[in-house]
Amino acid sequence: MKISRELKVGFVSITALVLLYYGFNFLKGQDVFKSKKVVYAVYDYIDGLSVAKPAYMNGFKVGQVDNIVLHPDGSGRLIVSINLTTDFHIPKNSQAIIKSTDLLGDKAIGIHLGDSKELLEEGDTMRSSVELSLTEEVNRQMAPLKNKIEKLFGSVDTVLIMISGFLTEDSQKDFGKTFNSLYVTFERLESTMSNLDTTMAQSKNNIVSSFDHIESITRNLDENGEELSAIFANLNSITDSLAAVRFKETFEHLNAALATAEQVLQKLENGEGSAGLLINDPELYNNLNSAAEELDELLLDLKHNPKRYIDLSLFGGKKKYDEAENRRKEAEAEQKVKESGQ
């Protein structure tokens, strides 16, 4: 069977168009033989993102940017179409983030997986955000430091202006005197520290001995802990006993006793009662004293002259002594008692 020339030209033309279409898509990074799922993301700005830029998920390419158009609502936002060429199930709340892929600022879309149970379907709109580029991140981090440096230079400039205003001839003299005073002060401080070092070196043994004594005291306290505990327990018992004493009632009884004693003394002083009369009546005292002396003489006479009161003699009476003789006999008896005691 002979094929006509027209058929051959048509076949070659169709093949060329197919190859052209496939090559064009291949150059765009699209594979026409893979299944596609188009989703969308809306951005306020795309920061240099362009068509055919890849879409990555955890560093693995899962699609690419298919188209970028302005939002029809006139807000100036941009709608980015993303062709997903993977069969991986992506949660519906996943996020499409515009990221920098290198230091030159080349952009791509990074898909951050969500945790939703619903899956992303054809035509869904993903959540979106733009990640700062390396330059923008550095600028953001350096901005506070830049502000501080600017403030520092402003402060330094102010200080220099103030110093230039103060550095007159009189101010220089005052500064010279001040530095001289500081120099003298530091010399004296150095001398004082040297003396202190010498003193500490001389007193080193005493200090060591003091610490040894302190250690000994603490060791004794540790060893006698039980005795100290018993002492403190006794003190606690004593304080509890003192706390239990009814001091108020005791002082009330004592005040009542003192009042009663004061009344008794007042009565004695006023001569009331027998004791008061005895204390305040001199005549009664003299009578009692005289009676005591007479009783003493009677007892002496009874001792030395018993026959005068009871006469039991069968052969005649015993010699009777008078009062003076009785007293002399009593004195001799007392002298003999003293001599026998010596």
Structure confidence by residue, pLDDT tens digits, 61-78: 898 898 999 999 989 999
Pairing type for strands 37-43 and 54-57 reads unpaired
Structure confidence by residue, pLDDT tens digits, 256-301: 888 888 887 777 677 666 666 666 666 766 777 777 777 777 777 7
Structure confidence by residue, pLDDT tens digits, 161-191: 766 666 666 666 676 777 788 888 888 888 8
What is the distance, to the nearest Å, from the Cα of residue 186 to the centroid of all Cα atoms in its chain? 38
Look at residue 342 and tell me whether its pLDDT is greater than 60: no
Q: DSSP for 127-158?
A: EEEEPPPHHHHHHHHHHHHHHHHHHHHHHHHH
Determine contact, residues 100/92, Cβ cutoff 8 Å.
Answer: no
pTM over 0.75: no
Look at residue 313 and tell me whether its pLDDT is greater than 50: no
Residue 56 is predicted with a pLDDT of 92
Residues 124-135: what's their mean pLDDT? Answer: 83
Quote the CA–CA distance of 77 and 125 in Å, as a whole number: 14
Q: Please, what's the b/e burial string for 61-92 (b: 16 or more CB within 10 A of its CB; e: otherwise)?
A: ebbbbbeeeeeeeeeeebebebbbbbeeebee
Give the SS3 label for residue 339. Answer: helix
Query: How far from 308 is each of 192, 298, 299, CA to CA, in Å?
Result: 109, 11, 12
Instruction: Give residue limits of the domains in the chain.
Output: 1-33, 36-131, 203-245, 282-341
Determine contact, residues 80/65, Cβ cutoff 8 Å.
Answer: yes
